[in-house]
Structure 1
Amino acid sequence: MKFPLDLGVETRSRAAGAGAGRCTRIIGGLAVLALAGLLQSCSLMKIAYNQAPELVYWQLDRHFDFTDAQSLQVKADLEKLQDWHRQTQLPGYIEALQKLQKQMPSDMDAAAACAIYTDVRGKLVLLSRQAEPPMATLVGSLQAGQLKNLERRFAKGNEEYREDFLEASPKAQRDKRYKEAVKRAEMLYGRLEKKQLAVIERRIDASHFDAPRSYAEKIRRQQDALHTLHPLVAGQATPEKTQAAVRGLFERTLNSPDAAYRDYMEKLTQDACATLAELHNSTTPAQRHKAVETLHRYEQDFRTLNAQKS
């Protein structure tokens, strides 16, 4: 999940989701799209959610280049995953949005902002668990050539990341992050004032975001994904072993085995929590009212989506 303001913005290949993280993001696409209420217009959010299986399928196909048989299986599994998500998870999103609407008129501290992140992360973990069996089925049907295609996609994403965050000038990197942060915040609060833009600038300058550190984790996850998948393709392992391996891969993506990286991500999370709280506390009553209206529209959209039958 992205907060309305995210100081670690990476617009092409995000640090928190590369390599094996791609798999988690793709599998978690339904949750990401469903939680996009803080990022997108209501109409776009509804369209995106209803089209999520197709969008997620397209992303997976780009990485693996499916056979006809795999395409049919993956599409069917994604439809089932969305049905489960619609019926069992959307009620929790509705409840969360109701709670947020009640919080918006008052000031917010960093702990309250972090509670939002914790709740969303928990929902993503649940979705990942639900996705493990179909993902294991897919992995067992992959061929060695499809992993080569995955490697090529990794290489392309790495090149884009380097262009955006390692080779660009510090000013260009900062400007990109600033524009993205402002865009996200204005989707919730409406047009920002000078004092609020100053909050974003100051917080970006104080951020712990470290592009080389994020890139190193990106490479680790990619290597982990390839190392994990190679012994499993073409039905080389039992379904039980494959599913256990997929679960381990997801777990290492959500919780890096690198203690230093976990500490780094905790700092980024605390940055985001503190920044969201400071930005929110600088907003006017009119902007907070706008946020309540926006969240209420999302709530109504989720109610509509939840009522739809497969």
Structure 2
Amino acid sequence: MSRWLIRIAVVLTVTLALGGCSRMGLAYRNLDIIIPWSLSDYLDMNIEQKSWLNERLREHLSWHCSTQIPGYLDWLDRLQAMVETNQVTDAALQARTEEAKQAIAKTAREITPSAIELLQGLNDKQVAEMNEAFAKDLRKHQEQYLKPSLDQQIKERGERMEKRLRDWLGPLNPSQQQRVVAWSTSLGDQNTQWIANRAHWQKQFSEAVAQRQSPQFPQQIETLLVNRESLWTPQYRQAFANTEAQARSLFVDLMAESTPEQRQRLLKKMEGVRKDFSDLKCLKAVKQG
């Protein structure tokens, strides 16, 4: 349920430049990145529910493509301009981040009524299955991200980042590699706060769904999906702010040390993202209309 936040909200800047999906067309078809709603991962829906959900998703996707994608293309223009002019600054990245968060919130608000309707129609067995899926998800994340020692967590985090960066920038020079190590070290045990907050959110979501026929339920779900930051633990709020700041600092420093070849590779990758968006049939239909 929270992949959309993890994969986008840290910065669509970082999604594109540091660690997202390299094929936005594929991501768009999969919906889980663009539409912050992956209930199907946690629910065993019946035929009627699947049919209803598919129809709603088509409607939301059409809305998103016709009203939101043009703004994403403008956003990409601003991001590309920063790289082309070598003006990648902390202030500029903060601005792009805020724009991305606003876009995410707008989409979340759009799909929330459908999410509420689906959740209200769940039976007790489906709710129990959802809760078990949440528990399984949590165990998986704890095993992967908390079981290793802190030194190993830092090492693996750095390795994951360097792998993503190589895709966008090409091979890193020794100085850039050391900067990635310093970035990973600066985040310390943020895995602990991230997963604790994940458990906190899932618990609140489960408690809300248990009372899904109550008059307060729609507002509770809207808060959980649209204003989820208001429900974060104080520890995670602080850790997330540090994560964002460190990501911006890393990107600024990497770009300051980047070669012309690395910047050209990055611009080419961004152009690929633009093409994936521009080639969407729904967007072409809007333009023709």
The TM-score normalised by the length of structure 1 is 0.80
Partner of 1:98: 77
Partner of 1:160: 140
Task: Name the SS of the counterpart of 2:42 in structure 1.
Answer: helix
Q: CA-atom RMSD, angstroms?
A: 2.9
Task: Name the SS of the counterpart of 2:231 in structure 1.
Answer: coil
**Is the Cα–Cα contact under 8 Å of residues 228 and 249 in structure 1 kept in the other structure?**
no
CA distance in structure 1 between the partners assigned to 2:186 and 2:271 by the alignment: 33
The alpha carbon displacement at 1:72 in A equals 0.6
Alignment of structure 1 residues 82-161 onto 2, 5 Å: 82-105=61-84, 106-161=86-141
User: Which one of 18, 24, 29 corresponds to residue 50 of structure 1?
Assistant: 29
Amino acid at match of 1:163: E
CA distance in structure 1 between the partners assigned to 2:40 and 2:234 by the alignment: 33
Q: 1:252–1:302: structure 2 CA closer, same or farther, 3 Å change rule?
A: closer
The alpha carbon displacement at 1:244 in A equals 2.0
Give the share of equivalent positions with the same residue, in percent.
21
CA distance in structure 1 between the partners assigned to 2:40 and 2:214 by the alignment: 23
User: Which one of 54, 67, 70 corresponds to residue 75 of structure 1?
Assistant: 54
**Is the Cα–Cα contact under 8 Å of residues 132 and 246 in structure 1 kept in the other structure?**
yes
| CA deviations over 1:71-106 (Å, ceiling 9, x no partner) | 111111111111111001111111111111111031
Which sections of structure 2, spanning at least 5 residues, go unmatched?
none
Partner of 1:282: 257
Q: 1:46–1:57: structure 2 CA closer, same or farther, 3 Å change rule?
A: same
**Is the Cα–Cα contact under 8 Å of residues 36 and 45 in structure 1 kept in the other structure?**
no
The alpha carbon displacement at 1:57 in A equals 11
Establish whether residue 211 from structure 1 lines up as the match of residue 220 from structure 2.
no
Partner of 1:14: none
Partner of 1:223: 203
CA distance in structure 2 between the partners assigned to 1:250 and 1:145 by the alignment: 23
Task: Name the SS of the counterpart of 1:245 in structure 2.
Answer: helix
Partner of 2:247: 272
The alpha carbon displacement at 1:251 in A equals 4.1
**Is the Cα–Cα contact under 8 Å of residues 35 and 107 in structure 2 kept in the other structure?**
no
**Is the Cα–Cα contact under 8 Å of residues 5 and 36 in structure 2 kept in the other structure?**
no
**Is the Cα–Cα contact under 8 Å of residues 146 and 191 in structure 2 kept in the other structure?**
yes
Partner of 1:62: 41
Q: 1:221–1:40: structure 2 CA closer, same or farther, 3 Å change rule?
A: closer
| CA deviations over 1:165-206 (Å, ceiling 9, x no partner) | 221123331232112111222222122222211110112112
Establish whether residue 302 from structure 1 lines up as the match of residue 282 from structure 2.
no
Partner of 1:262: 237
Partner of 2:2: 21
Amino acid at match of 2:2: G
**Is the Cα–Cα contact under 8 Å of residues 77 and 134 in structure 1 kept in the other structure?**
yes
| CA deviations over 1:237-263 (Å, ceiling 9, x no partner) | 46xx54322112224523335334322
Q: 1:167–1:51: structure 2 CA closer, same or farther, 3 Å change rule?
A: closer
CA distance in structure 2 between the partners assigned to 1:202 and 1:69 by the alignment: 51
Which sections of structure 1, spanning at least 5 residues, go unmatched?
1-19
**Is the Cα–Cα contact under 8 Å of residues 180 and 250 in structure 2 kept in the other structure?**
yes
CA distance in structure 2 between the partners assigned to 1:130 and 1:263 by the alignment: 28
Q: 1:276–1:258: structure 2 CA closer, same or farther, 3 Å change rule?
A: same
CA distance in structure 2 between the partners assigned to 1:195 and 1:52 by the alignment: 37
Task: Name the SS of the counterpart of 2:211 in structure 1.
Answer: coil
**Is the Cα–Cα contact under 8 Å of residues 146 and 192 in structure 2 kept in the other structure?**
yes
Q: 1:217–1:47: structure 2 CA closer, same or farther, 3 Å change rule?
A: closer
CA distance in structure 2 between the partners assigned to 1:177 and 1:224 by the alignment: 28
CA distance in structure 2 between the partners assigned to 1:92 and 1:61 by the alignment: 28
Aligned length: 279
Q: 1:293–1:128: structure 2 CA closer, same or farther, 3 Å change rule?
A: same
Q: Tell me which of the two structures has the higher relative contact order, counting C-alpha pairs closer than 8 angstroms and 6 or more residues apart.
A: 1
The TM-score normalised by the length of structure 2 is 0.85
CA distance in structure 2 between the partners assigned to 1:228 and 1:133 by the alignment: 15
CA distance in structure 1 between the partners assigned to 2:245 and 2:278 by the alignment: 31
Q: 1:251–1:133: structure 2 CA closer, same or farther, 3 Å change rule?
A: closer
| CA deviations over 1:136-155 (Å, ceiling 9, x no partner) | 11011111111111111111
